[in-house]
Amino acid sequence: MEEKGILKLSGEWEFYWKKFYSSEDFLSKNIQAEYQTIPSAWNRNRIDNEFLERDGYATYRVKVKLDKTYRSLSMKIGIILTSFDLYINSKKVLSAGKTGISPDEAKPDINSYLVSFPADTKDLEIILHISNYSHYDSGPSFPIFLGVTEDIYREREKNIILTFLLFGSIFITGLYHLFIFLYRHKESYILVFSCFCFVISLRTLLTGENYLYRFTFIPYAVLYKLYLISTYLSISFSANFISALYNRYFSNFVITWLNRLSLLVILYVLIFPIRYASLSFPYFEGVLIIFCFYALYTLIRSAFGGIAGAGTFLLGTFILVVSIMHDILRNGNVIHSDLTLVPLGMLGFIFSQAVMLAKKFTKAFYQVEELSYTLSDKTRELEEQNEKLRTIDKIKDEFLANTSHELRTPLNGIIGITESLMDNNSGELSLSAKNNLKIIHHSGKRLYNIINDILDYSKI
C-alpha cells in the first residue's frame, strides 16, 4: 500500500457459513474455506449451487500484506445492514449492534463506521463476524476501505460535505416551492413537488454516510423504517407530480393503483417489525422499475405532444432512472461499482423540475405582463375617447345654452305681445282672432317651458 492512498478491500474473502472463528481457531485447526466476493450479500450468492439463507451468521476473513509498518491506519466499513464485529490481528477493534447465532441473541445496527489502529506489522489479518436476522440483504453489501488515517478521514469529510450539500440543496428547493404554493393555492402540483423534495432530503440523511444514525438516542428500527417509508413516499409523490402536470397522458388508473399500493406498504412497514418490514423493499424495487419505464413512456409522449416543459422533465427523469437502474443492478451483484448514484440522480431530477417550474412561472409572468400592457393601452384609448366625448358634451351644452337664450328673447316678445293684445283690445278683435291669439300665447308658453327644461338639462 502506498504512503498516501486508500485501498479498496474488494474481491474474494474466505467465508465460513454459520461459524464464528477467531484467529486462534485458524492457527489451531485445519479449516476448509469457502469464498465470497465483497461487496455482496451472502444470500445473493451460491454455495454448492444453492442460495444461502437470508437469516444466519458467518465469518469473513482476508489477509493484507503491507509494504511497511504504519503509525496509524484506518478502515472505513461501508454500510453493513445488520450487526458485526471487526477483528484485526486477533484484536476486536469495532462492533456494531450485537452478533449472535440466533435472533434472540443478535441486536441489529446500521451505519457506516470508521476505525483507526496502529499497523506495527506488515501482515494484517482481518476477520468479520456478521449475523443477520432483520434485513433482506445479509453481509457486507458495500465496499470496505483501508488506508492511511489522514486519507480515510479526509475522504469521509468529503462525503459528509457532499451529503449536506445535497440535503441543503434539496431541502431549500422544497421550502422555496412550499412558499410559492402558500401564495398560489390553485397550483396543487407545487405542493406535491415540495413534499417530494422534503422526503428526498430526509432520505439523503439516511443513506451514504447515514448521518441520522449517529443520533444513538433514536432507535435503529425507527430510523430504518423512516428510510423505507421515505423511499416509498418519494415514488408516490413523483408519480402524483407527473400526473398533475401531464394528466393527458398519465393514466388515472395507474396513479390510483400506485397510491393505494404505497399506502398499504407503508402501513405494513409501520405495523410489522423490521425483520418483516424489510422484506417489502425487494418487491417494491420491481414496482419502482415498472413505474420508471412508464414515467419515461408518458413523458416521451408528452414531449412529442408539444406540452411545454415536457422535454426538460424527460431529461431529469432519464437521469434519475439511469441512477436507479445502476444502484439496483449494483445491489443485485449484476454489475460491480463503488458508486451510489441515486442521491445525485435525485438532485439532477429535482434541479430539472425546478428549472421546468421556473420556465412555467416565467411564461405565466410574461403573459400577465403582456396582458397588463394590453390593458394599459386599452385604458389609455378609453381615456382618449372619454376626453373626446367630454369635449363634444361641452360643445353640446354651450350650443344648447346659446340657442336657448336666443330663442327665449323672441319668445318673451311673442308672449308679451299676445298678452297685451288679448288684455287691451279684446273688444275690437273678432272671435276668430281672439282664439288665434290664445293659441299663439299657449304655444309660446309651452315652447318657453321646453327651452327652460333644455337649459336645466344642459346644466346637469
What pLDDT digit, counting tens, does each position of 359-374 carry? Answer: 777 877 788 888 888 8
Please report, for residues 101, 389, 427, 442, the alpha-carbon distance to residue 420 in angstroms, rounded to integers and kept in the order given.
139, 46, 13, 14
Side-chain-side CA neighbours of 142 within 13 Å: the count stands at 18
User: Does pTM surpass 0.85?
Assistant: no
Provide the pLDDT for residue 358. Answer: 80
Return the domain boundaries, the chain: 6-151, 157-371, 384-458
One digit per residue, the tens of pLDDT, for the chain of length 460 reads 555 578 889 889 999 999 999 999 998 888 889 999 888 889 888 888 888 998 999 999 999 998 888 888 999 987 777 899 999 999 999 998 899 999 889 988 877 788 999 888 889 999 999 999 988 888 888 889 999 999 999 988 888 888 888 899 889 989 988 998 998 788 888 899 899 999 999 988 888 777 777 766 788 888 889 999 999 999 999 999 889 888 888 889 999 999 999 999 999 999 999 889 988 988 888 898 899 999 999 999 988 888 877 888 888 889 988 888 888 887 766 777 767 788 888 888 888 888 887 877 787 778 888 888 888 888 888 888 888 888 887 887 777 777 777 777 777 777 777 777 777 655 566 777 777 777 887 787 788 788 777 777 666 6
Domain 384-458 has CATH 2.70.170: no
Provide the pLDDT for residue 428. Answer: 67
CATH of the domain spanning 6-151, picked from 3.30.572.10, 2.60.120.260, 3.90.1150.10, 3.40.1190.10: 2.60.120.260
Provide the pLDDT for residue 233. Answer: 94
Side-chain-side CA neighbours of 174 within 13 Å: the count stands at 21
What pLDDT digit, counting tens, does each position of 311-358 carry? Answer: 888 888 899 888 888 888 877 667 777 677 888 888 888 888 888 878
As a whole number of angstroms, the distance between CA 197 and CA 173 comes to 7
% helix, strand, coil for the chain, step of 5: 60, 15, 25
196: exposed, middle or buried (C-beta count within 10 Å: 0-12, 13-18, 19+)? buried
- Are 195 and 241 contacting, i.e. CB atoms less than 8 angstroms apart? no
Provide the pLDDT for residue 59. Answer: 96
Q: In a 3-state reduction of DSSP, which class is residue 15?
A: strand
